[in-house]
Amino acid sequence: MGWFVIYVSIYGMTETPQFGILKVVKERLCGLTRQGSRLSHSAMQKIDIQKLKGTPFQKKIWQALIKIPKGKTVTYTELARKIGKPKSVRAVANAVGTNPCAPMIPCHRVVRSDGSLGGYSGKGGVKTKRKLLLKEGVTIK
């Protein structure tokens, strides 16, 4: 409970753990402020990747993830090509898996080359990835 108190005092928040403090902490760490009950695509575009803890390579991947439109998917191979590292598919997959702001940085939009879902490091694992993609209108194998 101690880190909640420290965090609350730093950011001047008044929420308590039972009212969603973990969600608020994650949003604040990702540089977001909530407008109503939803985070829009424009809010995701405003995430300051450079302020997140990660290597320059990871940050490059996370920046590329934000550019994937809602309702679309790319493969790990396509993502590696987009960042100019076509032989670094495994490294790209690892960087996607370390995304600290899932689903706000939409790593759920990256799938395997065969169209299967692959993994998801966000809360709820692959079940959540499936739900997010279906909600965005993506057809899943």
Same domain? 58 vs 122: yes
Known active-site residue 101: no
Cβ burial, residue 133 (10 Å; 0-12/13-18/19+): buried
pLDDT at 53: 93
Same domain? 59 vs 88: yes
pLDDT at 114: 94
Using DSSP, how many helices (H) and how many strands (E) does the chain show? 7, 2
Same domain? 53 vs 122: yes
Which residue segment(s) compose the domain that 26 sits in? 2-30
Distances from the Cα of 63 to the Cαs of 20, 25, 41, 79, 107, in angstroms?
A: 27, 21, 13, 11, 11
Same domain? 72 vs 102: yes
- Tokens representing 71 are 């309702």
- Tokens representing 91 are 């490294």
pLDDT digits (tens, 9 = 90+) for 21-66: 455 555 555 655 444 445 444 454 578 898 999 999 999 999 999 9
Domain count of the fold of the chain: 2
Same domain? 49 vs 26: no
Distance of alpha carbon 104 from alpha carbon 91, whole angstroms:
21
Active-site pick, 49, 64, 96, 107: 107
Same domain? 66 vs 123: yes
Residue 107 has pLDDT above 80, yes or no: yes
Q: Is residue 11 part of a domain?
A: yes
Same domain? 75 vs 126: yes
The pLDDT-based confidence of 18 (bands split at 50, 70, 90) is very low
Q: Residue 66 maps to which CATH number?
A: 1.10.10.10
Same domain? 12 vs 53: no
How many CA atoms lie within 13 Å of 134's alpha carbon, on the beta-carbon side?
Answer: 8
Same domain? 79 vs 113: yes
Summarize the confidence of residues 60-82 as an average pLDDT: 96
